[in-house]
């Protein structure tokens, strides 16, 4: 048995790192799970649902003190780390970002073994553990629904006794996981979709039924590890002229462009928004990183003087509380199963030790462990 704890998130988070259906499977593999009271409440999961599958529900102190392995989404406050010495804490640390780096140092000083769920390598076998993908999928889907809610017209084309109405047109910028999800949901609602990314992913766009936007300038935007790299000044000018034209034509813009560890690239400027049709909507998924649109206000939704609504919510995955939690928990289950293989919970901690000690040890383990026994990994 491995004593495993699920922590309740802070006030601004609706998600939870474990859901009952996944907890039940883990319990079957020997994990003994205690859940902090109220942990699932904001995702619509009552304490009783955890108890019904065999988890115990108790206070935060009891969860922390009784567990060797702790799960959270947002890293718990740094002052809590002292009480977690010698334990393993698994959370969305973002170790490559300045805040994450600082948190790793604090965990290291507190002798907590810290696991960063965002550091899963982008290789095929690790896809099922990748929280960046699962949460981006939720965010991309939700972005379209937030856009549709603010757009006070039909998405699909309509021919009715009260008039004929064309379908709405959507432009998706940045076709990673969130962008593809946004394309899928937009098309499903009946919108006509066009899309662009700095990497040539025209095949993926076409396979989703979208039209690939072409910028009249050649440059390869692909960087290392499947991510994008920064583009040249000349390219950015050609790109702006293209976006300006498309902004005038479309009703909805969903922007998701991101470069890991960098400020969000600016793709839509004030003059482009001024030329958009009244009633159109921009949903800027990059709001937390500064936004792809210069007018985005992080965490807010507002309407400009010319009637364009700009949605800058930074909690889009959290707005899909239960769904995003289920996907996160499933990623966590795949992660522990990856470490233990067929052996079950009792092998979890020792297999991590083995992987770290071996020069050719498991690449996933080596990528996600930030620090152990007061030392960086
Ligand atoms: P991301 O969140 O880092 O970025 C979102 C998108 O923004 C990317 O497609 C990026 O190319 C694009 N972008 C960056 N700068 C831009 C600009 N100036 N203009 C327009 N677009 C810009 O990306 P992501 O969703 O994490 O995915 C990146 C890639 O990695 C995708 O191809 C995805 O399918 C792939 N991926 C692979 C795995 C795996 O193999 N395990 C897992 C997840 C994602």
Report yes or no: 249 and 84 within 8 Å, Cβ to Cβ: no
Q: How confident is the model at residue 76 (pLDDT cuts 50, 70, 90)?
A: very high
| Ligand 1 lined by 183 (C-beta under 6 Å) | no
173, 151 Cβ separation under 8 angstroms: no
Average pLDDT over residues 34-47: 98
Determine which residue's CA is closest to atom 38 belonging to ligand 1. 122
Is residue 222 pLDDT above 80, yes or no?
A: no
Determine which residue's CA is closest to atom 23 belonging to ligand 1: 176
Catalytic, 319? Answer: no
Instruction: Check if 289 has its Cβ closer than 6 Å to any atom of ligand 1.
Output: no
Q: What is the pLDDT, as a whole number, of residue 198?
A: 87
Q: Using the predicted structure, report yes or no on whether residue 228 has a pLDDT greater than 90.
A: no
The candidate with the shortest Cα–Cα distance to 14, out of 223, 343, 317, is: 317
Mean pLDDT of 36-52: 98
The SS3 call for residue 314 is coil
Q: CA of 276: how far to CAs of 12, 123, 153, 174, in Å?
A: 33, 40, 16, 20
pLDDT of residue 95: 93
Q: Is 165 helix (H, G, I), strand (E, B) or coil?
A: strand
What is this model's ipTM?
Answer: 0.95
For residue 239, the model assigns a pLDDT of 86
Token pair listed for 366 = 């080596």
| pLDDT computed for residue 110 by the predictor | 98
Q: How far is CA 367 from CA 96, 115, 312, 364, in A?
A: 12, 9, 32, 5
Best CA proximity match to 289, nearest among 178, 157, 201: 178
Q: Of residues 289 and 231, which shows the higher confidence score?
A: 289
CA distance 59 to 70: 14
What pLDDT shows up at residue 221? 67
Average pLDDT, the chain: 95
Q: For 178-204, write each residue's pLDDT tens digit.
A: 999 999 999 999 999 999 998 999 999
Known active-site residue 227? yes
Angstrom distance (rounded) from CA 324 to CA 334? 15
Whether the predicted pLDDT of 217 surpasses 90: no
Residue with tokens 């009637």: 307
d(CA 61, ligand 1 centre) in Å: 39
What pLDDT was estimated at residue 224? 66
CB of 6 closer than 8 Å to CB of 20: no
By most ligand atoms within 8 Å of CB, the mutation choice from 117, 132, 138, 176 for ligand 1 is 176
- In the prediction, which pLDDT does 173 show? 97
Rounded Cα distance, 76 and 80, in Å: 7
Q: Is 194 a catalytic residue?
A: no
Check if the beta carbon of residue 73 is closer than 8 Å to that of residue 317. no
CA of 259 to the centre of ligand 1 (A): 8
Residues 28-42 have a mean pLDDT of 97
Segment 279-332, tens digit of pLDDT: 999 999 999 999 999 999 999 999 999 999 999 999 999 999 999 999 999 999
Instruction: Supply the DSSP symbol for 320.
Output: G
Contact 276, 288 (CB under 8 A): no
Instruction: Write out pLDDT tens, residues 247-271.
Output: 999 999 999 999 887 899 999 999 9
Atom of ligand 1 nearest to the CA of 196: 20
**If residue 255 lies in a helix (H) or strand (E), which one and from where to where?**
strand 252-255
Q: Is the CB of 267 under 6 A from ligand 1?
A: yes
Residues 94-110 have a mean pLDDT of 95
* pLDDT band, residue 219 (cuts 50/70/90): confident
**Chain centroid to CA 218:** 30
pLDDT exceeds cutoff 90 at 163: yes
Give the distance from CA 167 to its chain's centroid.
29
Determine the Cα–Cα distance for residues 329 and 50; give it in Å rounded to an integer.
13
Positions of E strands within 150-221: 158-160, 163-165, 169-173, 192-196, 211-212
Cβ proximity of 39 and 9 under 8 Å: yes
Q: Which atom of ligand 1 is nearest to the CA of 236?
A: 18
Asked whether the beta carbons of 246 and 171 are under 8 A apart, the reply is yes
Angle at 176 between CA 125 and CA 215, to 5 degrees: 140
Whether 226 has a pLDDT exceeding 70, the answer reads no
Known catalytic residue: 200?
no
* Ligand 1 center–CA 289 separation, angstroms: 15
Beta carbons within 8 Å of 356's beta carbon, 6+ residues apart: 365, 366, 369, 372, 377
Q: Which one, of 74, 58, 76, 81, lies nearest residue 4 by Cα?
A: 58
């Amino acid at each position: 048995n491995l004593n495993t704890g699920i922590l309740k998130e802070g006030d601004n988070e609706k998600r939870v790192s474990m859901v009952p259906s996944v907890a039940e499977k883990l319990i079957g593999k020997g994990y003994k799970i205690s859940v902090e009271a109220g942990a699932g409440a904001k995702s619509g999961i009552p304490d009783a649902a955890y108890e019904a599958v065999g988890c115990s529900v108790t206070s935060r102190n009891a969860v922390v003190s009784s567990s060797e392995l702790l799960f959270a989404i947002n890293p718990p406050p740094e002052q809590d780390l002292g009480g977690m010495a010698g334990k393993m804490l698994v959370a969305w640390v973002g170790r490559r970002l300045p805040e994450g780096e600082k948190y790793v140092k604090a965990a290291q000083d507190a002798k907590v073994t810290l696991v960063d769920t965002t550091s899963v390598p982008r290789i095929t076998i690790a896809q099922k553990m990748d929280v960046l993908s699962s949460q981006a999928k939720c965010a991309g889907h939700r972005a379209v629904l937030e856009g549709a809610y603010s757009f006070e017209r039909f998405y699909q084309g309509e021919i009715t006794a009260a008039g004929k109405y064309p379908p709405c047109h959507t432009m998706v910028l940045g076709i990673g996981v969130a962008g593809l999800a946004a394309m899928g949901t937009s098309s499903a609602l009946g919108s006509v979709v066009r899309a662009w990314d700095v990497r040539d992913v025209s095949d993926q766009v076409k396979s989703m039924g979208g039209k690939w936007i072409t910028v009249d300038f050649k440059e390869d935007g692909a960087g290392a590890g499947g991510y994008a790299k920064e583009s040249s000044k000349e390219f950015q000018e050609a790109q702006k002229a293209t976006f300006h034209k498309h902004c005038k034509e479309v009703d909805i813009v969903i922007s998701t462009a991101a470069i890991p560890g960098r400020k969000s690239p600016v793709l839509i400027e004030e003059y482009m928004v001024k030329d958009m049709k009244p009633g159109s909507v921009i949903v800027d998924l990059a709001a937390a990183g500064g936004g792809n649109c210069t007018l985005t206000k992080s965490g807010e939704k507002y309407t400009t003087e010319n009637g364009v609504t700009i949605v800058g919510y930074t909690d889009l995955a959290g707005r899909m509380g239960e769904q995003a939690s289920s996907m996160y928990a499933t990623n966590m289950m795949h992660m522990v199963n990856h470490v233990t293989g067929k052996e079950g919970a009792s092998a979890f901690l020792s297999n991590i030790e083995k992987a770290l000690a071996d020069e050719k040890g498991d690449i996933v383990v080596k990528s996600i462990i930030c620090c152990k026994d007061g030392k960086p990994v």
